[in-house]
Structure 1
């Protein structure tokens, strides 16, 4: 394994983040803080508890997951799209660097950014609502696993996209609505039986539910199922990336 190649790609992407700190970190944190101000501090005290948890604290895992998913996808998608757009991807593909090392560098950097951003948002949330984390190890596990999985998904989108507008289609028109409809602001127990069944087909439900369990010790879906669904999506992304490099899909043309 060429660790120097991985470190070079990883370092380049992390340096790019430091150059655009306002856009990469400050903007998402401020946007998420608005949700905490409105739903946590203003509306939260007037809402009934959900599963014995104050409403302001209840929405924290969902809002963290919303930011984690969108930022993981966007970071990885833009990271691999720009080399394709400028043509420097051919230099990378002709270098003595394996597909695994390329993916490890780009996805590792995107997942690191998202994980750090998630921890910053968690610290920010604690300023607005009281939080108790019952399973901190599982919280970190879900945080890192989700960041890596959706960074891989973003990497796939960055290869698939043939224009800047397509980079935003999946995060804005698919992931964000699915997250809002995946139990970010409510428990599935609040839904009628029919809609609860329909909602279980939303894959984001399992991510939010597992993440919420790490905070409060209970969730809408069993934590084992949530973890298994995340691993299954990770496996699908790995297989897809392997196929893209093996066939040269939109990498060599």
Structure 2
């Protein structure tokens, strides 16, 4: 494996984070802080506990997951789209690096940025809400696994998109509604039975549920199912990326 090639792509993408700190770090952190203020402090103080957990603390895993998913997709999609847009993708494809190394470089950088951002938000949440992490290693594992999975998904979107508008369609029109309806601000056990069943078809439910279990030991679905569903989605993304490079879809034209 060409580690020098992976390192070059990885460091180039990480350097972009330093150049756009306001957009890539401060903006999502400030947005999430507003959620903490409104839902955690203002509304949460007037709501009862959920599963013996204060409302402000209960929504923390969901809010972190919301930011994590959006930023993972955005970072990876933009990272691969810009070389396609500017034409420098051909230099990458002609370099002595394999397709696997290209994916590891771009996706690894996007996942790293998202993981760092998730940890920053967790630290920031301490200023607004008291919370505990019952299983810190599991929490970190879910954080990294979700970042990698949705960075791969974002990588696919960045190759599929043929304009800046399409980069935003999937995150805004599909992912965001799924996150808000996936138990970010509530437990699906609070819903009528028919809507509980419908919610189980939302893949984000399993992500948020597993992540919340790592914090408080409570979840809407079994943690094993959450891990399995995440790995299945990861496998699907890996398969699609493999097909893209094997066929040259939107890379060679």
Q: TM-score, normalised by structure 2?
A: 1.00
Compute the displacement of 1:43 (Å). Answer: 1.1
Match of 1:124 in 2: 124
Match of 1:114 in 2: 114
Match of 1:11 in 2: 11
Compute the displacement of 1:126 (Å). Answer: 1.2
1:1-253 map, 5 Å: 1-253=1-253
Compute the displacement of 1:47 (Å). Answer: 0.3
Alpha-carbon distance in 2 for matches of 1:19, 1:80: 17
Alpha-carbon distance in 1 for matches of 2:204, 2:189: 16
Alpha-carbon distance in 2 for matches of 1:189, 1:241: 36
**What is the CA deviation profile of residues 165-204 of structure 1, one whole-angstrom value per residue up to 9, with x for unaligned ones?**
0000011111010000000000011000000000100000
Alpha-carbon distance in 1 for matches of 2:179, 2:172: 11
Alpha-carbon distance in 2 for matches of 1:141, 1:241: 23
Structure 1: segments with no counterpart, 5+ residues: none
RMSD (CA atoms): 0.4
Number of residue pairs matched by the alignment: 253
**What is the CA deviation profile of residues 223-250 of structure 1, one whole-angstrom value per residue up to 9, with x for unaligned ones?**
0000000000000000000000000000
**What is the CA deviation profile of residues 92-145 of structure 1, one whole-angstrom value per residue up to 9, with x for unaligned ones?**
111111000000000000000000000000011111010110000000000000
Compute the displacement of 1:45 (Å). Answer: 1.2
